[in-house]
Amino acid sequence: MGECEPRGEGESVSEVELAYQVGQTVEVTVADVAQGGWCVARLEGLPVIFVRHALPGERVVARVTEVTSRFARADATEVLEASADRVEPPCPQAHPGGCGGCDWQHASLPAQRALKGAVIAQQLRRVAGLDLDREITVEPLPGDEPAESGLGWRTRVQFAVRPDGLAGLRAHRSHEVIDIGDCPIAHPAIRDLGLLDYSWEGAGTVEAAAGSTEPADLFRAAPPDDPAQPDDPAQPDHSAQPGHPAIPVHQDRVVILTKAGRAPRGRRAPGSAPGRGAARDERGRDARVRSDDRAVEPFPQEAVDSVEAEAVLIRSAHRLTPVRGRQYLTQFAAGRHWQVNAGGFWQVHPAAADTLSEAVVAALEPKPGDTALDLYAGAGLFAGVLAPLVGADGSVTAVESDAAAVRDARANLDVYPWVRVHRNDVALAVADPGLPQARLVVADPPRAGLAREVVDYLTGGSGAERFAYVSCDPATLARDLGLLIAGGWRVDRLRAFDAFPMTHHVECVVTLSR
Ligand SMILES: C[S@@+](CC[C@H](N)C(=O)[O-])C[C@H]1O[C@@H](n2cnc3c(N)ncnc32)[C@H](O)[C@@H]1O
């Protein structure tokens, strides 16, 4: 039972609730890492505590933040014995009570990858009964080497907006919007928009996404000590300013706003503090002045007019309405350009689409004349890299449920007449006898993992011989691999990629055959 849930009549107090109270501090030695950016700690004879801001092996003082019927959650507020892997978080907002966006800012990048590898191995062992008999190496993506910063990679960020118009990120497991001032994991193309300097009063969220018209290595921010000369004709004109990382010339950026549900103008919700240095203008409205004395603009007109994005759109009830600019981004991956709806799915790390599509091709080993199926196809990335390899004598079928993504996939793949894009729920598509048989299957589902119908299709009479499973969630991956193995599939290879540095998220590509 969570601390806010009312206790039913006759319901007894659990062992955890007897042992811990929110706000209490305990001194613990931290044991293993757990899924979700937590570490596990056990006080002798007491139920388990999941601790954030800690690392395995550390002795910490932890403040209890939540008590459920089975376990407690806590933040490490003081480190008594630090791990050798501990570093000063590069983001000043990454601390207990601060921004909840990152989980592992306090660990070195190699340690973050080791923690993610340990979580994958743990999930495979516990949930799928699969012991890979070796450590799982989480590979850095190109661009995070040699810079090795783990920063500046996020090409889509959604900020929450407080009723007073200030945009920020939420605290961990909380609705509280933290005034972060800056987000160092955001790509420079996004940071450069200065979204956090505007007032977005009346908006519920403000989201920015950046496209790329160049290969990922050019799109990446140059490290601060990059020796590249701005005048070097061989280098793109990054128009870098002192103190700012270089950003590419060819910008393609969208800002997407959602309206706040309830945001009475001129009144602040209870408990929400004013933006840095709030003031009132002659009409009694907030004329917010930031700490640098720069007046910020009210939502929507001024902010929308001033923000230097190539497009601004409003999202309402699953519809995107352009205020100005185009409705889609251009992305560059696998040696070509892709059209992606402004609100649609695309890998957020600039090097991820390249890396994952190479891994999928390596997993499936497509040959001319092969038949392939791309499930959860998005804008058609994997279908698009498989299509030229199977050639006109082969065929590729892509299945995607989102109408805008299907439009993108059809536009992106129309150069290959042997590719068909079906708009359908994959659970229905795999039960449709009209779905072409495929020897090769790739699936890249959302975090919830494969629909049970997809597992049944693959373990039943689908005729598939090789399967590439692209997963962003080790827990649902492990669940599905357990079912696939029980249904006759064999795991040949598992690769893991650090596509989300500083966070607990990790991307896996598993090769299966039967
Ligand atoms: C993780 S994205 C992968 C997209 C693509 N493979 C890529 O790498 O760009 C998952 C995609 O699955 C789609 N999707 C989610 N649930 C679905 C379902 N039940 N049936 C079909 N598509 C679905 C989403 O719209 C999204 O485009």
pLDDT tens per residue, range 17-57:
678 999 999 999 999 999 999 999 998 888 899 999 999 99
CB 444 near ligand 1, within 6 Å: yes
284 and 364 fall within a common domain: no
Domain count for the chain: 3
What is the per-residue pLDDT across 196-227, written as a single tens digit (0 to 9) for each? 999 998 899 999 999 987 776 555 544 444 33
Q: How confident is the model at residue 10 (pLDDT cuts 50, 70, 90)?
A: low
Residue 99 lies in a domain: no
Q: How confident is the model at residue 2 (pLDDT cuts 50, 70, 90)?
A: very low
- CATH number for the domain harbouring residue 340: 2.40.50.1070
Residue 62 lies in a domain: yes
Q: 444: CA distance to ligand 1 center in Å?
A: 7
Residue-level pLDDT at 177: 95
Query: Amino acid identity, residue 490?
Result: R
251 and 366 fall within a common domain: no
Taking CA atoms only, the protein residue closest to ligand 1 atom 20 is 425
Taking residues 419-429, what's their average pLDDT?
98
Are the CB atoms for 47 and 72 separated by under 8 Å?
A: yes
What is the per-residue pLDDT across 35-46, written as a single tens digit (0 to 9) for each? 999 999 998 888
Q: 396: CA distance to ligand 1 center in Å?
A: 16
The Cα 286–Cα 501 span in angstroms is 38
Determine which helix (DSSP H) or strand (DSSP E) holds 254, and give its type and residue range. strand 253-259
Residue 192 lies in a domain: yes
Domain residues for 477?
A: 351-513
333 and 412 fall within a common domain: no
Q: 331: CA distance to ligand 1 center in Å?
A: 17
Whether the predicted pLDDT of 380 surpasses 50:
yes
Q: Are strands 328-333 and 336-341 parallel, antiparallel or unpaired?
A: antiparallel
Calculate the dihedral angle through the C-alpha atoms of 147, 151, 157, 160, rounding to the nearest 10 degrees.
-170
Of 361, 374, 401, 435, which is best to mutate to test ligand 1, by the most ligand atoms within 8 angstroms of its C-beta? Answer: 401
User: Coil, strand, or helix at residue 392?
Assistant: coil
Residue 120 lies in a domain: no
391 and 454 fall within a common domain: yes
CB 402 near ligand 1, within 6 Å: yes
Which one of 346, 377, 409 terminates a domain?
346
